[in-house]
A and B are shown apart, each in its own frame.
Chain A
Amino acid sequence: MTLPIPVTLIGGYLGAGKTTLINSLLRNADGRRLAVLVNEFGSLPIDADLIVAREDNLISISGGCICCSFGSDLVAALIDIRARGQRIDHLLIETSGVALPGSIVQSIALLPGLAIDGVIVLADAETVEERAGDRYMSDTVRGQLAGADIIVLNKIDLVPPERVAAISRWLAEIVPGARVSPAQNADIPSEIILGRQPEPQPIAHRIKPSKHRTAGYEALELEIDCPVDAERLAAVLADPDLALLRAKGFLQKLTGEFVTLHVVGRRSVVEPAPAWVEGPGRLVCIGVAAEMDRSAVLVALGSDFHLLQSPRRN
């Protein structure tokens, strides 16, 4: 059985930085074959230097990635892009500036062969509060933020630092459990958006250094040599108090079989692991350095199993 293709929604109001983030992910695809669906080919959605070829509705991008536009019919575009038969490791959907991610998540859940990985919603630090109070757009903007697994608070360089803190607090108020990742130029490590590339072999001691290093993020990498209660662990890792942005692991359940654990902000999923996975279990957790409490993460994990490797800074 083929594994479903992970799908990440990139949402947020007009001008929040969705296109910038998409381009950054394409530049840091690390060998992943990304397929990108954008709501419109308005102002060119893909940086010119990344484009290999362009035909009607399809842009071919260096590294084997592709980009298609969709109008009102996302589902048809999803069916079309999969019908092309190209390998797709991860699907990114840039939603329209007024779309509510929640309903798109539901419709993707109806399509066999696709699985929602996470919902990333960008917010423009300069304007998000104003938009959220706009006479016409208030409920739409709030609905977008409420649908996010991770909110990327973008353009923080354009507002004073105390405003960033205040907006983050405000976001946590209007979106209970919100996971907020501040960013400039939508610069956020691709492993947070896409997850870490699954290793073909069990990792031995160290994680591969990411090509895309951004100051301010921290990773914990753990090896776990005993079976665990994976569902409970997933719920623990998604707890807002831990402030993790992303966790991914291959773990052995108490019943013996291997599972994949995904945490994207508030969302957590446990599902059967690919057949090549074997012991020991391993887990990577990523968060904003200033917010991620390493010891709290370890305490949360520690009672259930022991760690082979002590955490270290990435």
Chain B
Amino acid sequence: MTTIYQARKIVTMNPSRPLATHIAVRDGTILGAGSLDELTGWGEYQLDRSFADKILMPGLVEGHSHVAEGVQWRFVYCGYFDRTDPNGVIWPGVKSIEEVIARLSEANAALSDPKQPLTGWALDPIYFNNRRMTRQDLDRVTTTRPIGIMHASGHIMNVNTMALELAGMLRPGVNHPGVPLGPDGVPTGEMKGPEAMTPLGPHVGLDRGLLASDEPGLRAFARLCVRKGVTTAADLANLLPQPAVEMMRQVTGEDDFPARIVSLRVAREISPAELVARVLELRTLSSDRLRLGMIKIVVDGSIQGFSARLLSPGYYNGAPNGLWYIAPEQLRDIFERALAAGIRVHSHTNGDEATELVLDTLEQALRKYPSPDHRFTLQHCQLANAAQFRRMRSLGMCVNLFPNHHFYWGDQHYALTVGPERAQRMNACATALASGVPLAIHSDAPVTPLGPLFTAWCAVNRLTASGRALGTEERISVAEAIRTITLGAAYTLGLDGEIGSIECGKRADFAVLEDDPTEIGAEHLKDVRIWGTVQGGRIFAAASI
């Protein structure tokens, strides 16, 4: 049965037919986009006018997120900015420690089990005039139940006195750079860095699996996708043990599961040979809505955590260079085996030294295993310089930059981490395009909120949270940004033949919008109202998801 959808306007991203008014769909596949006249030749059809006043564009593609976003919402949202949860509730940002305490107290009152920890996330005290939160602040919520609040950066946690006591840390004599002490010689409750946070995690409900998900978490993530117009999302770092794969196959296979998840096996815990064998096996377990068979490698840390590897002259504030999370020999081993097996590898690099290592290593590996169209992708790659973008182009690499980071942490990068000049060139989308490097942009949800149109707004405007225009030379146009969040991201995932544009033969994946992103104006791109999605020909309204 063929359905022809009528829309106010259809932005196809197909250069030979950029605009249309109707789309014909059969069995989840697009027969064509054009005028009604052009489509009736496909035979008997039903005309669906429910989108007659809407804008349709290809379903948005989030090229770097984590399905853990769906799990975070079980915790209390303590972020500074308004944020939408999977149910569509907009949680207003909390603007002071008093407001954090009030929100936590409300959540505390709703818990019946006295031992259950109270967990919060997305706290960002840099917006509270840098007044640090202490255990005494959180003790005002409760002294009998452990509390742990993860910061937005993911690098700091605040806990209350009970949590410290349970972890055996309510004592003087703790000597650790990540554990500040109060005047009484006892930890203040602020735990900085993974070493300091992890011992507290199990006591405050944040033990492990920040990257893992479960059935309800996966469904919640997919509901969030619908609200943001996303029909395909990459889950960029998953250990993918067999039970998780079976769970994901089952959940994504449910009739009403509204998104396609592309889950990458993170290079961890097994040797390169075992990794490649496992990923080849995972590839055979793929389905339409669960795509497996790629590798993710974490090469360095984060810039704001000072754990990214920077080329000379290093950090602006003089902090020592960051950390390697993989040795060059292991990187080369994985690259060579993956190229030989035809497996795509996405490499997390934040600092430019980490990017340089990946470029050097891939260049060597490609001499040994020449591989046309390998599409190895640099993820984040925030500090890459112009010469590195030229090398990416020469080596056939793609890049997925992180404009959201520019908005949320650009001011810190300007003042503290890399200084004004490099802060201006961070996430250099315009240089990437000018160099001919296939480009995607991402949210890294839950690190920043999922929402490709917001990410596009960040790339187009390059404003920071304080309103500073940072690196205007690296702005890209609205048209370029929209291509990047559809075909661009699809290309990095090897899916551009299936999705990313509305044209004959592709999947019937659409973002259904109330406003036209090509007309609303660059400064309003993030305000485009989203009605929902069509995924594989199935209609999902955000209002009823």
Binding site for B on A (CB under 8 A): 13-15, 40-43, 69-76, 79, 96-98, 100, 103-104, 106-107, 109-113, 136-137, 139-140
Question: How many angstroms between the C-alpha atoms of A76 and B202 in the bound complex?
Answer: 8
Which of B91-99, B146-154, B171-179, B216-224 interfaces with chain A? B171-179
- Contact call B179/A110, Cβ cutoff below 8 A: yes
B199 interface hit (Cβ, 8 Å): yes
Task: Write the nearest CB–CB distance from B532 to chain A, whole angstroms.
Answer: 37
Instruction: Convert B178-219 into 0s and 1s, putting 1 for each residue whose CB lies closer than 8 angstroms to a CB of A.
Output: 110000000000000011101101100001100000000000
Contacts of B326 in A (CB 8 A): 98
Contacts of A110 in B (CB 8 A): 167, 169, 174, 176, 179, 195-196, 199
- Contact call A42/B268, Cβ cutoff below 8 A: no
- Contact call A139/B321, Cβ cutoff below 8 A: yes
Kindly list the 9 A-B residue pairs having the minimum CB-CB distance in the complex, ordered from nearest.
A42-B271, A107-B195, A112-B168, A75-B198, A71-B269, A98-B324, A71-B268, A97-B327, A98-B327
- Contact call A40/B357, Cβ cutoff below 8 A: no
- Contact call B198/A73, Cβ cutoff below 8 A: yes
Q: With A136-B328, A137-B327 in contact, is A76–B321 under 8 Å at CB?
A: no
- Contact call A140/B270, Cβ cutoff below 8 A: no
- Contact call A76/B268, Cβ cutoff below 8 A: no
- Contact call B208/A76, Cβ cutoff below 8 A: yes
Q: Within residues 307 to 357 of chain B, which ones have a CB less than 8 A from any CB in chain A?
A: 309, 320-321, 323-330, 353, 357
- Interface of chain B, main secondary structure: loop
Question: How many angstroms between the C-alpha atoms of A189 and B239 in the bound complex?
Answer: 38
Q: With A107-B196, A109-B175, A110-B179 in contact, is A69–B269 under 8 Å at CB?
A: yes
Contacts of A69 in B (CB 8 A): 269
List, sorted by A's number, 7 A–B pairs whose CB atoms are closer than 8 Å: A69-B269, A70-B269, A74-B198, A75-B195, A97-B329, A106-B175, A139-B321
- Contact call A107/B274, Cβ cutoff below 8 A: no
Question: How many angstroms between the C-alpha atoms of A214 and B325 in the bound complex?
Answer: 36
- Contact call A41/B269, Cβ cutoff below 8 A: yes
Chain A CB within 10 A, most for which of B174, B195, B196, B325: B195
Instruction: Convert B271-313 into 0s and 1s, putting 1 for each residue whose CB lies closer than 8 angstroms to a CB of A.
Output: 1101000000000000000000000000000000000010000
Chain B CB within 10 A, most for which of A43, A73, A104, A111: A73
- Contact call B323/A71, Cβ cutoff below 8 A: no
Contacts of B196 in A (CB 8 A): 107, 110
- Contact call B270/A42, Cβ cutoff below 8 A: yes
Question: How many angstroms between the C-alpha atoms of A137 and B272 in the bound complex?
Answer: 20
Question: How many angstroms between the C-alpha atoms of A109 and B178 in the bound complex?
Answer: 12
Contacts of A136 in B (CB 8 A): 309, 324, 328, 353, 357
- Contact call B239/A106, Cβ cutoff below 8 A: no
Question: How many angstroms between the C-alpha atoms of A69 and B329 in the bound complex?
Answer: 20
Contacts of B272 in A (CB 8 A): 42
Question: How many angstroms between the C-alpha atoms of A107 and B200 in the bound complex?
Answer: 11
Contacts of A106 in B (CB 8 A): 175-178, 195
Contacts of B175 in A (CB 8 A): 106, 109
Contacts of B309 in A (CB 8 A): 136
Question: How many angstroms between the C-alpha atoms of A137 and B309 in the bound complex?
Answer: 11
Not counting A97-B329, A107-B195, A110-B174, a sample of 13 additional A-B residue pairs whose C-beta atoms are within 8 angstroms of each other reads A41-B269, A41-B271, A42-B272, A70-B269, A76-B208, A98-B323, A107-B194, A109-B174, A109-B175, A110-B167, A110-B176, A112-B169, A113-B168
Question: How many angstroms between the C-alpha atoms of A137 and B325 in the bound complex?
Answer: 11
Contacts of B168 in A (CB 8 A): 111-113
Question: How many angstroms between the C-alpha atoms of A135 and B326 in the bound complex?
Answer: 15
Question: How many angstroms between the C-alpha atoms of A136 and B174 in the bound complex?
Answer: 33
Contacts of B327 in A (CB 8 A): 13-14, 96-98, 137
Question: How many angstroms between the C-alpha atoms of A137 and B299 in the bound complex?
Answer: 13
Task: Write the nearest CB–CB distance from A269 to chain B, whole angstroms.
Answer: 14
Q: With A14-B330, A71-B269, A73-B208 in contact, is A107–B325 under 8 Å at CB?
A: no
Task: Write the nearest CB–CB distance from B409 to chain A, whole angstroms.
Answer: 22
Task: Write the nearest CB–CB distance from B302 to chain A, whole angstroms.
Answer: 14
The chain B residue sitting closest to A79, CB to CB, is: B202
Task: Write the nearest CB–CB distance from B332 to chain A, whole angstroms.
Answer: 11
Contacts of A109 in B (CB 8 A): 174-176
The chain B residue sitting closest to A113, CB to CB, is: B168
Contacts of B353 in A (CB 8 A): 136
Contacts of A139 in B (CB 8 A): 320-321
Question: How many angstroms between the C-alpha atoms of A97 and B268 in the bound complex?
Answer: 13
Task: Write the nearest CB–CB distance from A137 to chain B, whole angstroms.
Answer: 7
- Contact call A76/B198, Cβ cutoff below 8 A: yes
Q: With A110-B176, A136-B324 in contact, is A71–B169 under 8 Å at CB?
A: no
Question: How many angstroms between the C-alpha atoms of A42 and B333 in the bound complex?
Answer: 12
Contacts of A113 in B (CB 8 A): 168
CB < 8 Å neighbour of B329 from A14, A79, A140: A14
- Contact call B199/A75, Cβ cutoff below 8 A: yes
Contacts of A140 in B (CB 8 A): 323-324
Question: How many angstroms between the C-alpha atoms of A79 and B174 in the bound complex?
Answer: 19
Contacts of A104 in B (CB 8 A): 195
Contacts of A70 in B (CB 8 A): 269
Question: How many angstroms between the C-alpha atoms of A112 and B178 in the bound complex?
Answer: 17
Question: How many angstroms between the C-alpha atoms of A40 and B273 in the bound complex?
Answer: 13
- Contact call B174/A41, Cβ cutoff below 8 A: no
The chain B residue sitting closest to A98, CB to CB, is: B324
Task: Write the nearest CB–CB distance from B146 to chain A, whole angstroms.
Answer: 15
Contacts of A137 in B (CB 8 A): 324, 327-328
Question: How many angstroms between the C-alpha atoms of A96 and B326 in the bound complex?
Answer: 8
Question: How many angstroms between the C-alpha atoms of A71 and B194 in the bound complex?
Answer: 13
- Contact call A107/B198, Cβ cutoff below 8 A: yes
Question: How many angstroms between the C-alpha atoms of A73 and B195 in the bound complex?
Answer: 9
Contacts of A43 in B (CB 8 A): 271
- Contact call A40/B179, Cβ cutoff below 8 A: no
Question: How many angstroms between the C-alpha atoms of A209 and B11 in the bound complex?
Answer: 83
